[in-house]
Chains A and B, each alone.
Chain A
Amino acid sequence: MFEISNLSVNYGGIEAVRDISFSVPDGSVVTLIGANGAGKSTTLRTIAGLVKPKAGKIMFNGEDITGKDPAYIVGKGITLVPEGRRIFPDLTVLENLKIGAYLRTGNIDEDIDWVYQLFPRLKERSWQFGGTLSGGEQQMLAVGRALMSRPKLIMMDEPSLGLAPLVVHDIFSIIRRINEEGVTILLIEQNANMALQVADTGYVMETGSIILSGRGSDLINDEGVRKAYLGG
């Protein structure tokens, strides 16, 4: 169980996240949706330890992980797939995967096979430099790299950003598959429609606060959400 209570974060001189609380049950898919600048990315970056919160508490499996450094958080089983993929362009595909397992000791061959099974494309390109992949392939690599740390909770920041609709579809079916393998997912998206379709629970953020929450399928049909985020 992952739980955030009364989290506030200052970022770039403004209060980007104001007193939000939500929880992510084990094995579920939870999504935060909202417009640009609503504070979604800041929330994920705070959980990952890149940004220190001003107030509030982040609990994971009963442990307080508020304000810990990123390496500690990764070690606890929480990984962030950053916005814009952030592949290491001059590491090969295989090295990008290996570096995802940086904190692990012991054999990682099995995990590499698992990722290659999820993304056969990456296997074909295993010796290519990360920077030479297409946007969709880079997103697959970013997800694969995150999986290499054997996360219990994987956070994804706008995985569909800048990708062609067909590729977006692929990415979301991968998200489902990863979830079926038992990984808990916290997803933020501007593509609210897709996100709510895969999510068990959704939270709507606006200017730093959570203004609405509910089951994914309920939010999709919610009049206000449709108007604001689903284009009618």
Chain B
Amino acid sequence: MADFFHQNLSYFLSGISVGGQYALIAIGYTMVYGILRLINFAHGDVFMCAGLMMVYFSSSMPFVLSIPAVLILTVLLGFVIERVAYKPLRSAPRMSVMISAIGVSYLLQNAALYFTGGLAKVYPEIPVLSRSVQIWGASTRVVTLITPVLTVVLVVLLTLLIKHTKIGMAMRAVSRDFETSQLMGIKINRVISMTFMLGSLLAAIASFLYFTNYASVTPTSGSMPGLKAFVAAVFGGIGSIPGAVIGAFIIGICENIIKGGASIFGIPGSGWTTFSDAFTFAFLIIVLIVRPTGLFGEKSVDKV
């Protein structure tokens, strides 16, 4: 048994790590859904933009400057997207906002295509993150070990923010009832902006971790992790932050176990990696059939 874990340790490690990265992205989906009932299809592309910004900034400035710059500009991007593409549609049918989100997604992808010329851009090696380490005989990178820790820390901080601060309380109120929140004096547009900014911040942090592993950024780099994070959010029960985090870890781990299928299940073959993506989406279909509200889906405690 110990031998088995030993041999396949790298798959488990990268499962946990990828899960953490999906979790950070998934929180952005689930928070925005919680407050606006909108699936922000542009979120994966915001993540990609953070990656691209890093590519460009790191070539002209040191990491101590480029990392904060990426964080700030990604937050700003999330803010601007909400103001320009979603806020004017506040009282429009939900479908219109969703179509607007798809539009923003394509806009970002095409803007990225324009800037990169469609070439894969090499992601810089962030010094600490990309150093390799040995644990228990498996060689891996620092990023793999840092990701789950950082994810958990950020999730705890976010939970504290939502549970114990004034803005967090306002977020919970707005996600429940726009009109009554306004009657309390809450400026709902501010709270919504804040939600998008937090989601974008976490996506930017995820982009450092994710692209350090994948080493290159293309205009469509955001769509696959974005989709998987979305699946994680749905699996966890969209609107629920703990749900999204747990869902993301489960998907990340399952995916990597399947990738290691040849050695874990002892069935040789080269198709395992390809199949791991199919697994995620097959999983989505099953979740939607068996338990459409997900693990921690919204339970209504309304009383009439």
Contacts and interface: CB of A to CB of B under 8 A. Distances in A.
A50 B180 CA distance: 10
B172 A88 contact: yes
A102 B173 CA distance: 11
A35 interface: no
Given A90-B172, A95-B169, A135-B303, A74 B184 contact: yes
A89 B301 contact: yes
B139 interface: no
A134 B177 CA distance: 19
B182 A71 contact: yes
Interface string B161-187: 000001001101100110110111111
Contact of B180 (A86, A103, A135, A162): A86
Contacts of A50: 179, 182-183
A131 B303 contact: yes
B3 interface: no
Interface string B281-303: 00000000000000000001111
Given A90-B301, A132-B301, A75 B177 contact: no
Nearest to A81: B183
- For A86, A99, A133, which residue has the most chain B Cβ atoms within 10 angstroms? A99
A74 B173 contact: no
Interface residues of B, number: 20
B187 A71 contact: yes
Given A89-B302, A138-B303, A99 B169 contact: yes
Interface in A30-80: 48-50, 69-71, 74-75, 79-80
Given A48-B183, A71-B186, A75-B185, A99 B303 contact: no
Contacts of A230: none
Contacts of A100: 184
A133 B184 contact: no
Interface in A90-106: 90-91, 95, 98-100, 102-103
Contact of B169 (A48, A89, A91, A162): A91
B69 to A, nearest CB: 33
A216 interface: no
Contacts of A22: none
Given A89-B303, A132-B301, A149-B185, A98 B176 contact: no
Interface in B156-211: 166, 169-170, 172-173, 176-177, 179-180, 182-187
Contacts of A144: none
Nearest to A146: B183
Contacts of A131: 301-303
Interface of B: 166, 169-170, 172-173, 176-177, 179-180, 182-187, 300-304
Interface of A: 48-50, 69-71, 74-75, 79-80, 82, 86, 88-91, 95, 98-100, 102-103, 129, 131-135, 138, 145, 149, 162
Q: Which 7 A-B pairs have the closest CB atoms?
A: A131-B301, A103-B185, A74-B185, A70-B182, A86-B180, A71-B185, A102-B184
15 contacts: A71-B186, A75-B185, A79-B183, A80-B183, A86-B179, A88-B172, A89-B176, A90-B172, A90-B176, A91-B176, A99-B173, A102-B170, A129-B301, A131-B303, A132-B303
